[in-house]
Amino acid sequence: MELTKIQEFDLNRTTMVTGSEAVVKCLVEEGVDIIFGYPGGAIMPVYDALYDYQNEVKHILTRHEQGAIHAAQGYARSSGRVGVCLATSGPGATNLITGIADAQIDSTPLVCITGQVHSHLLGTDAFQETDVVGISMPVTKWNCQVTKAEDIPAAIAKAFYVAQSGRPGPVLVDITKDAQFGEFEFEYEKCQQVRSYVAKPIINKDKLKEAAELINQAKKPLVVFGQGVILARAEEEFKTVIEKAGLPSAWTIMGSSALPTNHDLNVGMLGMHGNYAPNVLTNQCDVLIAVGMRFDDRVTGNLEKYAKQAKVVHFEIDPAEIDKNVNTDVAVLGDCKESLSLLLPLLKENNHANWLNEFYRLRDVELSKVINAETNPKSGELTMGEVMRRVNTHTEGKAIVVTDVGQHQMIACRYAEFQQSKSMITSGGLGTMGFCLPAAIGAKMGMPKKQVIAVVGDGGFQMTIQELGTIFQTKVEVKILLLNNQFLGMVRQWQDLFFDKRYSATEMVNPDFQTIAKGYGIASKQIKERELLNDAIKEMIEHKGSYLLEVMVGKENNVFPMVPTGCSVSDIRLE
């Protein structure tokens, strides 16, 4: 009698669920409250399950799967949490690929869940069957296919663990339709470890000492930092370290906003369209201290002529990045939040005042030769730089700026001012046009209290313009700043500089964006005049709800400074 009672009790406790409901329960267990996606045949069971969990998990219906994944990226990058997206098999899954590749190269934690045809149809060219595991393999940190309902929880648990631990990245779980229909006893255990995978290398104290010695002895140190500082949530540790040792610090565009723009030691942006001083002085420093960055070719220019005079110290979580592009003298593997805290007591206080003045002196050169004309012109057509200057006035560095790809992106990275981390969201490694609008939607959903400004070109805007529909339906508040030069500006700039001005396929005959905005119920304005600029930006920022401000800027302006491909960073051109 006793025994049967216990058995009955146990029976009540176990819950038989379908694979599709299990997917949703796993998301709830992982604390996911928002996902981005698009339905279709092979993922319908999961969508059906979502119907019962609308209070727990909000689903954002984008207008294209590329929109869903870029939104998930924007969400992940503004909030620091895992972005989740859902798509059907075949075309739904392949539409995710650009975003997955983007997230892979920019180390963004994403979990993508795709539906797949019935397992007995795998490999038969069934309707909407695509080998998405095969296709996504080169661009995912990890992926897998699940063909049995009972394997779903472990796969999703591993997916979340892998996506956000160590160096983050996108993962994909492909679930066959029969696995979604199958029933099993649901149990969930978060993944804590994968034995073949070391998320964070253990920090070697000797290397740390060697690094400290080099930094302490340096007369002309230069720190170059990237998104690693943001991903490790190490902004405070980083600032404390550079302040103690008086280290001038320059950022890659992925590291933008990790250090406040107006910090005395912030010496600007690195790379092709970066600032003059850090590029030139990269080739004069005696110790180059890289933190959470990977020496991308857009940052280093010609590697044969990159910082050859300097000893190189590299703080990095990913062993595969050590010596990949630039040979290091001392590599400190590990999470930089930990390694920088351990480094701090080993550092001597210093200020390197003369050396820092070199940066300020070159900044003045850049101011007079480039920046003043770009951000404060007195006559002529509107420039992108002056638009960004006005944005700064009204956001006071507190907004999140999301960009697309091209000239406006480089201008936004160069001139947007930030006080808080995770405020610059841009497609760095892949340079994906079409990223901006959906990423801005996701960024706002990740940080609803923040002002989100989408800075976009007329080309990239039209690559994912359908996401205006997502704004319309969800009423998410995104300020769209369209910098319209009626050209694929960055490509036109290269044609101007390197292809004898042969403007092949770069001129854009554009639709009336004002009418389009109207159709989507989005308040909007177009301006061409300098006198109207300040008020127009103020109006956009103060407007309750989404807003499209289209600024007609000079058609043939070029972004400078510039390190032409194949040149050394110190050969950066001011004009």
Partner 1 sequence: MKENNSSVKSLPFGEVRRGQYTISVFTEDQIGLLNRVSIIFTRRHINIESIAASESEVKGIHRYTIVISEDEELVKKVVKQLEKQVDVVGAFYHTNDELVFQEIALYKLPSTLIVSDGAVERIIRSHNARILAFEKEFTIIEKTGHKEETQLLFDELNPYGILEFVRSGRVAITKPMKQLKEYLKELEIASLNN
Q: What is the number of other CB atoms lying within 10 angstroms of the CB of residue 437?
A: 29
Out of ligand TPP, partner 1, none, what residue 314 binds, judged by CB under 5 to 8 A for its kind, is none
Our CB check for ligand TPP shows the closer of 258 and 490 to be 490
Site for ligand TPP in 419-438 (CB under 6 A): 431-434
Near ligand TPP by CB under 6 A: residue from 321, 404, 417, 550: 404
Distance of closest approach, residue 200 Cβ to partner 1, in angstroms: 5
In the complex, minimum distance from the CB of residue 26 to partner 1, in angstroms, rounded to a whole number: 19
Whether residue 377 is preceded by a cis peptide bond, meaning omega within 30 degrees of 0, is no
The radius of gyration computed from the CA coordinates of the chain, to the nearest angstrom, equals 25
Buried b vs exposed e over 502-541: b needs ≥16 C-beta within 10 Å?
eeeebebeeeebeebbeebebebbbbeeeeebeebbeebb
Under the binding rule (CB under 8 A), the answer on residue 28 touching partner 1 is: no
**Closer Cβ to partner 1, 202 or 353, answer by number:** 202
Pick the closer one to partner 1 by CB: 136 or 383: 136
If binding is defined by CB under 8 A, does position 354 make contact with partner 1? no
What is the pattern of x (binds partner 1, CB under 8 A) and - over residues 131-170?
Answer: --xx--xx--xxxxx---------------xx--xx----
- 17-29 burial, b at 16+ Cβ within 10 Å, e below that, comes to bbbbbbbbbbbeb
Q: Which does 408 bind (CB under 5 to 8 A by kind): ligand TPP, partner 1, none?
A: ligand TPP
Residues 265-286 as b/e (b if ≥16 CB within 10 A, e otherwise) read bbbbbbbbbbbbbbbbbbbebb
Considering the candidates 7, 8, 56, 127, report the single residue annotated as catalytic: 127
State the binding partner of 145 from ligand TPP, partner 1, none, CB within 5 to 8 A by kind.
partner 1
Q: Angle, nearest 10°, between helix axes 489-498 and 407-415? A: 100
- Of the pair 293, 541, the CB lying nearest partner 1 is at 293
* Paired tokens of 223: 């720190």
Rule CB under 6 A: is residue 385 a binding residue for ligand TPP? no
Task: CB nearer to partner 1: give 136 or 256.
Answer: 136
Look at the chain and count its residues: 575
Nearer to partner 1, 485 or 568 (CB): 568
SS3 401: strand
The question of whether 127 is a catalytic residue gets the answer: yes
**174 Rama class: left (phi>0) / alpha (psi -120 to 50) / beta:** beta
Q: Are 358 and 281 in contact (CB under 8 A)?
A: yes
Pattern of binders to partner 1 over 287-326, x per CB under 8 A?
A: -------------------------------xxx-xxx--
Instruction: Report if residue 197 touches partner 1, rule: CB under 8 A.
Output: yes
Partner whose footprint covers residue 405, from ligand TPP, partner 1, none (CB < 5 to 8 Å by kind): ligand TPP
- Report the candidate in 335, 314, 141 with the shortest Cα–Cα distance to residue 230: 335
For residue 341, the tally of other CB atoms under 10 A from its CB is 16
CA triplet 233, 239, 242: central angle to 5 degrees? 130
Shortest distance in whole angstroms from residue 64 CB to partner 1 = 27
- Residue 356 Cβ vs ligand TPP, minimum distance, rounded to whole Å: 33
Q: Is residue 457 part of the contact set for ligand TPP (CB under 6 A)?
A: yes
Amino acid identity of residue 290, one-letter, is A
Query: Closer CB to ligand TPP, residue 32 or residue 481?
Result: 481
Residue 196 or residue 354: which is nearer to partner 1 going by CB?
196
Annotated active-site residue 490? The verdict is yes
CA nearest to 292, candidates 351, 241, 348: 241
| Residue from the set 25, 408, 444, 479 that interacts with ligand TPP by CB under 6 A | 408
Instruction: State the burial class of residue 262 (Cβ atoms within 10 Å of its Cβ: 0-12, 13-18, 19+).
Output: exposed
Candidates 65, 235, 316, 321; catalytic one: 65
In the complex, the smallest distance separating the C-beta of residue 168 from partner 1, rounded to whole angstroms, is: 12
Dihedral of alpha carbons 13, 34, 138, 129, sign? positive
List Cβ neighbours of 306 (8 Å cut-off, separation of 6 or more): 282, 283, 295, 300, 326, 568, 569
CB 317 within 8 A of CB 232: yes
CB 227 within 8 A of CB 293: yes
What does 432 interact with, of partner 1, ligand TPP, none (CB < 5 to 8 A by kind)? ligand TPP
Which partner from the list ligand TPP, partner 1, none does 433 bind, CB cut-off 5 to 8 Å by kind? ligand TPP
DSSP letter for 88, please. -
Reply yes or no on whether 238 is catalytic: no
- Residues numbered 480 to 499 that lie near ligand TPP (CB under 6 A) are 483, 485, 487-491
Where does this chain bind ligand TPP (CB under 6 A)?
404-408, 431-434, 457-460, 483, 485, 487-491
Annotated catalytic sites, by residue? Answer: 65, 127-128, 177, 490
Q: Residues interacting with partner 1, by CB under 8 A?
A: 133-134, 137-138, 141-145, 161-162, 165-166, 192-202, 318-320, 322-324, 327
